[in-house]
Every structure is written in structure tokens, then in C-alpha cells.
Amino acid sequence: MGSQQLLLIVVGLIAVALMVYTGLTIMKSYYETSNRDQLISSLNNLAILAQQYYKRPVEQGGGGGAYARFTIPLNLRSTIVGNFNASARGNRVDFSATGVEIGRNGKTVVSVTCRVDRDGVRFTITN
């Protein structure tokens, strides 16, 4: 009788440990995906700002058909979601964003890049 109870306790502990491990794995995956989605949303907002700059005349503080002097506003360069950088050229802006959660490779944080040009906006998930 005592060995059966001990066996049930051991099986119960193994089952609980597996459930806790599965829960933590699901939670980590959720945080990673959520951070990546937040970065993409923020990059989309920055892309809209870049396109507005491109279309606005120079006289009104825009680029007048060029992205060359576009910069990310100071309050949007670093947020609780992550950090954002922009590299502007005459005909395009390349954005890069790094998040706060560990990404798919298990070593570095989530990162997404975005290219804005006259053809539109393209996102690339790098981690």
C-alpha cells in the first residue's frame, strides 16, 4: 500500500512539473510574439511619419520628394517596446528595431527591420 502511494506522489509531481514547464514555455513564446508585434506596429507608425515627410513640401518642413533628412523624433527612438534607428537616403529609409524580449534564436533580443520607399513599406523579421 505504501509503495502505491509513493508511486502516485512521484507521478503527480512529474505531471505538475511538466505542466509548469509547458506554461512557462507558452508564456515566453507569448511575450516574444507580443514584443515582435509591438515593434512592427511602432515601425509602421514611423513608416507613416517618413511617408508624410517625403510628401510634404520643403517649405513646410518636409522632404519635398526625398527622404534624405528624415530623422526619428527623439521621444520615439527609445520606448518600453524597444529601440529604433533610421538610416535615410534620398529615395528610401531603412529602419531597424530591437525589442526587449529574447527572440527565436534564444540568445539575442527580438529584432525587425523595415524599408520605406516610393513603392511602399516592407518588414523583415530578423529574430
Q: Express each pLDDT in 5-37 by its tens digit.
A: 999 999 999 999 999 999 999 999 999 999 999
**Mean of the pLDDT values across residues 77-89?**
94
Burial class (CB in 10 A: 0-12, 13-18, 19+), 93: buried
In the β-sheet with 83-88, what is the strand arrangement from edge to edge?
83-88, 92-102, 109-117, 120-125
Q: How confident is the model at residue 42 (pLDDT cuts 50, 70, 90)?
A: very high
The pTM score is 0.84
